[in-house]
Chains A and B, each alone.
Chain A
């Protein structure tokens, strides 16, 4: 006890005490500070482990035990978390049966399971990360920017997906799926990862802001009122079909009424 009372009269006491206090504060802060944000790319090791477990159950039979690919499925090294998130959340993967194209179906995984799978796939090799809402829906786009998004859509997307995203045909039984009701995240991920036959639309040519305008354009396009039943949004073919069936068909029925004889007296 005598050490402390003699120590505190030394000239070095104050600076030493300050240093000690700082050291203690540092220790306290380290203990109390929140854990750093887990980005989908790196993921906590727990997530990656859970993802690996799910992967080996549902995906490894086609994509290989370590995602290296096989004759039944391509390699997943470098596809990134975004690709895994896209494929699983839209229900395309796991594929129910082999075919020309993986169709969209009901997704049976929970959000946590998808995140785990995505972080495992991301750990296989660097690739596009799952986009944040700030990327695909920044919320501050002007009407002119959204209109320009429409121009980008018609230049890059409508050739496969049709002018209002109703989908289109590709060779050999494949198809570009319809875009109605898709979230901005799904569309963004598809553009960046180029699933199956869809090409990649990278940030080098279409930066995040431009991609966001495309998403916003589609949202507003699908929300606007239509001047009647849209007849599928497939263009003149269905218009002609309905013109014949309802127009000519209906008028023929009325013509039959006009030319028919009414009820007779006996």
Chain B
């Protein structure tokens, strides 16, 4: 690519069929030509600016006088009075300053357009030559000419510093090797005999109390024994379940899962297998469960298989039974990890259409 440093570099290709008429002649502005108009403009600007301290003081008064909980009802909306009035007064004050400044520029400041010459962005040939001279003088004086390895060695050394810089980040989190994965993302606190309880009010669920078409957002009873806030959230993010009751005659229960349900009461993981949002949108009549995040839809009447949307694997089902007093308990943990898929685990063996 050749470099053209003259002014001709700025001239586009092709001729101009019409000649340049030059900058249009200046027509006086109305506020310059008419004395009264000019003075009006001046007074308008002063008026705008005079309002500003008034608004600022009203703003301060509002801050102290309007209680935090006061409300202001107008045009059918119940406004928080403090926010509304602090904002209106403050916002208007700032806005008026801006409008005054712009009005000054438009109506009072000289409106004569002027032209300034452009210069090519690149340096001229002489400057380039001079720069090259200086660069070459520096290179010559640095001694790299005779002792060639010095620069490469320096570069190599600096590059090597990347190793400690990167290594220092290795404790950003635990390493998800096999054992760590098995301890964390591949298991939940569900074990044999843990009672299913309703979330928030922690009521244990009696099988006979669950009605046909009922949905219960549940958790393991042992979750509420965890007192460390961070661990509580982590376990809840994996152990949350939904319990639904459907008519056994209207759903498909594969042979391998006959023991996982109690008279049409089934428990599924609440955590979507797409990217992990909790799912609660259950349609009583179609038995479809819709995730609100990206609309993955699972058929709870067919072992949680995906019927629509971007989720790629079925919703894990929790095997449940009843204990001696008739309360729902888990038979054990989920047989597959809950939540999104990941690279190290082949999810093709998970429950698929047609499995028994």
Residues on A lying within 8 angstroms of B by beta carbon are 148, 151-152, 155-156, 159-160, 168, 170-171, 174, 176, 194, 196-207, 210, 223-230, 257-258, 261-266
Contact = CB atoms under 8 A, between A and B. Distances in A.
Interface stretch (B154-162, B283-291, B344-352): B283-291
A160 B281 contact: yes
A231 to B, nearest CB: 11
B63 to A, nearest CB: 16
A194 B284 contact: yes
A226 B30 contact: no
A258 B107 CA distance: 11
B222 interface: no
Contacts of B215: 156, 199-201
28 contacts: A148-B201, A168-B281, A171-B286, A171-B290, A194-B284, A196-B285, A197-B283, A199-B215, A199-B244, A200-B212, A202-B211, A202-B214, A203-B209, A204-B205, A204-B214, A205-B198, A205-B203, A205-B214, A206-B201, A224-B78, A225-B79, A225-B80, A227-B83, A227-B84, A257-B102, A258-B105, A258-B106, A264-B30
A199 B27 contact: no
Nearest to B215: A199
A264 B200 contact: no
Contacts of A223: 78
Contacts of A225: 71-72, 78-81
Given A171-B290, A197-B286, A204-B210, A159 B79 contact: no
Contacts of A160: 280-281
Nearest to B32: A265
Interface string B16-28: 0000000000011
B217 A155 contact: yes
- Residue among A151, A198, A199, A226 with the most chain B CB within 10 A? A199
Contacts, number: 129
Q: Which 9 A-B pairs have the closest CB atoms?
A: A204-B209, A159-B280, A199-B215, A225-B71, A265-B33, A263-B30, A200-B214, A197-B283, A205-B198
A266 B33 CA distance: 10
Interface in B24-50: 27-34
B293 to A, nearest CB: 10
Contacts of B33: 265
A86 to B, nearest CB: 14
Contacts of A196: 284-285
B79 A228 contact: yes
Main secondary structure of the interface of B (DSSP, over half): mixed
B77 A210 contact: no
Contacts of A261: 111
Contacts of A197: 283-286
Nearest to A209: B201
Contacts of B216: 205
B308 interface: yes
Contacts of B201: 148, 152, 206-207, 210
Given A174-B283, A202-B210, A226-B78, 4 more contacts: A199-B213, A200-B213, A202-B214, A264-B27
A200 B200 contact: no
**Listed residue (B30, B80, B283) with the most chain A CB atoms within 10 angstroms of its CB:** B283
Nearest to B31: A262
A251 B282 CA distance: 45
B292 to A, nearest CB: 6
B11 to A, nearest CB: 28
B299 to A, nearest CB: 11
A197 to B, nearest CB: 4
A263 B38 CA distance: 12
Contact of B206 (A198, A204, A206, A230): A204
A200 B211 contact: yes
B288 A171 contact: yes
Contacts of B31: 262-263
Given A200-B213, A202-B209, A265-B34, A226 B283 contact: no
Given A159-B292, A202-B214, A265 B30 contact: yes
A228 B84 contact: yes
Contacts of B278: 159
Contact of A151 (B32, B200, B288): B200
Nearest to B286: A197
Nearest to A199: B215
Given A200-B284, A264-B30, A155 B200 contact: yes
Interface in B123-155: none
